[in-house]
Amino acid sequence: MRPIIVISAFVALIAGWFVLNSGQNKATPITLTFHAQMGDEPLIYDQFIYENPGGQGQFRVRDFRFYLSNLSFGHGGETYAEPDSYHLLRFDNADSAHSITLPEVPLPSVETVRFLIGVDPAANTSIEARGDLDPNSQMAWNWEVGYKFVVFEGALQVGEDVSPLVYHVGFSENAREVEFSIPAEALADGKQEVNLIVDLAKLFDNAALIDMQALPSVKFNRTDADALADNYATMIAPTF
Amino acid sequence: MRWVVLILAAAGVAAAGWVVWDRVRGPTATPIADFSAPFVFGRFAVPPDNAMTQEAFTLGRHLFYDPILSGNNEVSCATCHVQELAFTDGLAKSPTLSGGELDFSSMSLANLLWGQERFFWDGRATSLEEQALMPIQHPEEMGQDIDALMEELRVSGSYRKMFRQAYGSVTPENTAKALATFMRLLISSNSKYDQYLRGEVRLTAQEEHGRKLFMAHPDTKVSLRGGNCIDCHSQFLTSGFRDALDGFSNNGLDSDETMPDGLMAVTGNPAHKGFFKVPTLRNIAVTAPYMHDGRFDTLEDVMDHYNDGIVVSDTLSPLILEADNAPEAGQGTVGLRMTPDEIQAIIAFLDTLTDEAFLTNPQFSNPIEGGS
């Protein structure tokens, strides 16, 4: 009789350890998928199909990309920050989309998501390659200035005239924080994906309305850069 | 006496066994032990199935310099890639076997571990392994049948041994891997600019002026003057960018009517028409003539092109079209509109990219006695 009690106790101990342990270490897989749109439609490159929001003519998009960094997730009072969290989001693919997958966020579930559009000051002034940061990439201005945060390049057509559009927004003060909550049902029943819309139209038509003819480029002028940063601050929103 | 005979016999068997074993065992390649890359060059990737080893480098170096690789046994890789010219040939376009000229200028081979992961001016090869066999088999470059080449290499005891030690057997795949390894290890990292980046030397005032111009996109709104080089040539590598197709651009050489297809021939995307690979500027002072077709003889000619000779086309980089140091509208020309002093400063900076140690490194030279 005695051995059975010992074995039973041992089995209960092991089972209990597994139950408790799995509860403590519960990890949540999550995928954030960003869909580039112009207004309500998927972004289309290289065609003069978009109206200059603040003036005459139509514009086309040759390039649109930005840094998303310092991604963190919250659950109750707990937060988890992704290490080396520097993602270059680009949308020149068939789906005009970009996904970030974390197979194991060490939280029981995810209630809030936070990130920066741009790069934090410490990383922005470093030449260390971390995440998607690469001082030899197109996103580097040079190491005295840091990275471009948001890049838009294209052209504006007014009548027969075609002129270049170059909007490069950087400078550490132009990083903008985005935070949103995830309703419980969105990640229930094995669902792992959160879809977000990146509305490029908001870069030019938001707090500030941009006439691309009057302002065909933004680079190192801090007032112009700040205006575009306030515009892109709200260009990303989740859809549930 | 019997013992002596037995011992000798055993030794003989052991020696014969070692010889047989040495021939049948797998490759004995040793990883390159002291390999280190400059921090500022950033990340690089070596294909997992082609680790960089001493034996692969040695084999690749022999193959690179051996005219046996060509159909007529007269042309080696080194015919068009000469070390002292940073592995270019000094010609606008390389000669064809039939006496004409190829479509493109011979590309410099330096720091290929970094930058674009597509090779040739139009990016038609997606790895150095894929690239390596293409000139060999091109009817106008080296004109060699790859199977015939394997037969020729297998006849050579020294090649059989070098292949055995590096990879195993003599195959086209292993030939490509060895050539790729040799090219990957052609690293130029001791120019004056590198020494400056390591804090070992100072640049002159003119070179420093040129460096600043190189790194700046001009912005008249904040009185920032720039040569705009960094929009295509990365700041430390000075090559094109690595991500996706970022390292290809239309830099305003031709009109829509006369423009060659470039990258569009590979991707089929009309937005890539006239795009060519942005080359490294390492050792640029010794790699004249310039551009994919060698149309410019000097760096002054190149700077003149960017300063006021840009030809506008539909796929021209907006960064080139938009970059202008003069606040007022141009009078019929498109370009940077820098001063002569600024142009000379940029050229002075470009001269700091020459790496004499690279151009004369004995490890990169012809290993075949008597030369070729």
| In contact, B354 and B217? CB cutoff 8 Å | no
Q: Rounded to whole angstroms, what are the CA distances from A126 to A130, A136, B168, B194?
A: 10, 12, 44, 18
Range of the domain at B162: 15-188
CB contact under 8 Å between A164 and B321, yes or no, is yes
| Residue A8: pLDDT over 70 | no
pLDDT digits (tens, 9 = 90+) for B233-247: 999 999 999 999 999
**Whether A46 and B271 lie within 8 Å, measured CB to CB:** yes
With a pLDDT cut of 70, the percent of chain B lying above it is 98
Instruction: Please check whether residues B217 and B317 belong to one and the same domain.
Output: yes
Mean pLDDT of B331-356: 96
Could you tell me if B184 and B269 lie in one domain? no
Is the Cβ–Cβ distance between B283 and B193 less than 8 Å? Answer: no
Q: Is B219 on the interface with A (CB under 8 A)?
A: yes
Count CB pairs under 8 A between chains A and B. 87
Which of B215, B237, B321 lies nearest to residue A136, judging by beta carbons? B237
At B11 the pLDDT is 83
Nearest to B42 among A62, A129, A220 (CB): A129
- The pLDDT score that the predictor gives to residue B371 is 46
In the predicted structure, residue B338 carries a pLDDT above the cut 60: yes
Question: Is A158's pLDDT higher than 50?
Answer: yes
Q: Identify the band that residue B4 occupies on the pLDDT scale cut at 50, 70 and 90.
A: confident
Tokens of B17: 């066994």
Q: Does B199 touch chain A (CB under 8 A)?
A: no
Least confident of A57-71, A99-113, A141-155, B1-15: B1-15
Q: Which residues in A lie closer than 8 A to residue B40 (C-beta atoms)?
A: 127, 135-136
Q: Are residues B209 and B179 both part of a single domain?
A: no
Cβ–Cβ under 8 Å, residues A86 and A119 = yes
Per residue in B202-214, pLDDT tens? Answer: 999 999 999 999 9
Q: Write out pLDDT tens, residues B138-180.
A: 999 999 999 999 999 999 999 999 999 999 999 999 999 999 9
Give the pLDDT of residue A16. Answer: 56
Residue A106, chain B, CB below 8 Å: the answer is: no
Cα separations in angstroms, A234 against A198, A202, B54, B284? 9, 8, 54, 45
In a domain? residue B178: yes
DSSP letter (8 states) at residue B245? T
- Predicted confidence (pLDDT) at residue A73 exceeds the cutoff of 50: yes
Dist CA B239 CA B233 (whole Å): 5
Does pLDDT of B370 surpass 70?
A: no
Q: Does a structural domain hold residue B343?
A: yes
* Last residue of one domain, picked from the residues B188, B223, B252: B188
Whether residue B231 is predicted with pLDDT greater than 60 in this model: the reply is yes
B213 in the same domain as B180: no
What is the tens place of the pLDDT at every residue in B59-118? 999 999 999 999 999 999 999 999 999 999 999 999 999 999 999 999 999 999 999 999
Same domain, B181 and B197: no
Residue B369's pLDDT is what? 64
Q: How confident is the model at residue A141 (pLDDT cuts 50, 70, 90)?
A: confident
- The pLDDT value recorded for residue A144 is 75
B305 annotated to bind ligand: no
Rounded CA-CA distance B96/B141 in Å is 6
Q: What is the mean pLDDT of residues A225-235?
A: 98
How far is B144 from B138, CA to CA, in rounded Å? 7
Q: Do A136 and B241 touch (CB under 8 A)?
A: yes
pLDDT at B372: 42
Let me know if residue B126 belongs to a domain. Answer: yes
B62 is in an annotated binding site: no
Residue B371 within a domain: no
Q: How much is the pLDDT for A113?
A: 98
* Average pLDDT value for chain B: 94
Is B118 among the domain residues?
yes
Q: Which residue of B has its CA nearest to A217?
A: B322
Q: Give the CATH number, domain containing residue B150.
A: 1.10.760.10
pLDDT at residue B331 tops 90: no
**What residues of A are in contact with residue B334 (Cβ under 8 Å)?**
none
- Same domain? For B321 and B182 the reply is no
Residue in B with minimal Cα distance to A137: B241
Using a CB–CB cutoff of 8 Å, tell me whether B321 touches chain A: yes
pLDDT at A15: 59
Return d(Cα B114, Cα B236) in angstroms, integer. 11
The stretches of B25-127 forming alpha helices (DSSP H) are 54-65, 77-80
Q: Nearest residue of B to residue A138 by CA position?
A: B241
Round to whole Å and give the CA distance between A35 and A42: 7
Same domain, yes or no: B141 and B208: no
Number of domains chain B is built from: 2
- B118: Cβ contacts below 8 Å, ≥ 6 apart: B124, B125, B126, B245, B247, B248, B277
Cβ–Cβ below 8 Å for A224 and B221: yes
**B202 domain residue, yes or no:** yes
pLDDT of residue A13: 59
**Does residue B266 sit in the same domain as residue B149?**
no
Residue A39 pLDDT > 80: yes
H/E stretch holding A10 reads: helix A2-24
CB–CB of B188/B358 below 8 Å? yes
> Do B35 and B53 sit in the same domain of this protein?
yes
The nearest CA of chain B is from the CA of A237 a distance in Å of 27
Tell me what the mean pLDDT of segment A175-185 comes to: 96
State pLDDT tens for residues B26-64: 787 888 877 778 889 998 999 999 999 999 999 999 999
Would you call B40 and A127 a contact, using CB atoms and an 8 Å cutoff? yes
Whether residue B255 is found in the same domain as residue B182: no
The verdict on B166 and B224 lying in the same domain is no
Contact at 8 Å (CB) between B113 and B285? no
Instruction: Give the model's pLDDT for residue A161.
Output: 94
pLDDT of residue B16: 80
Share of chain B above pLDDT 90, in %: 86
Residue in A88, A129, A154 nearest the CB of B43: A129
Residue A115 · residue A72 · CB < 8 Å: yes
Q: What pLDDT does A21 receive?
A: 53
Task: Return the structure tokens found at B95.
Answer: 């000669």
Does residue B2 belong to any structural domain of this protein? no
The phi-psi region of residue B167 (left if phi > 0; otherwise alpha if psi is between -120 and 50; otherwise beta) is: alpha
pLDDT attached to residue A5: 67
- pLDDT-based confidence at residue A20 (cuts at 50, 70, 90): low
pLDDT at B296 over 90: yes
- Confidence (pLDDT) at A189: 87
**Residue B114 resides in a domain:** yes
Report CA Rg, chain A: 23
Same domain, B277 and B181: no
Is the pLDDT at B135 greater than 60? The verdict is: yes
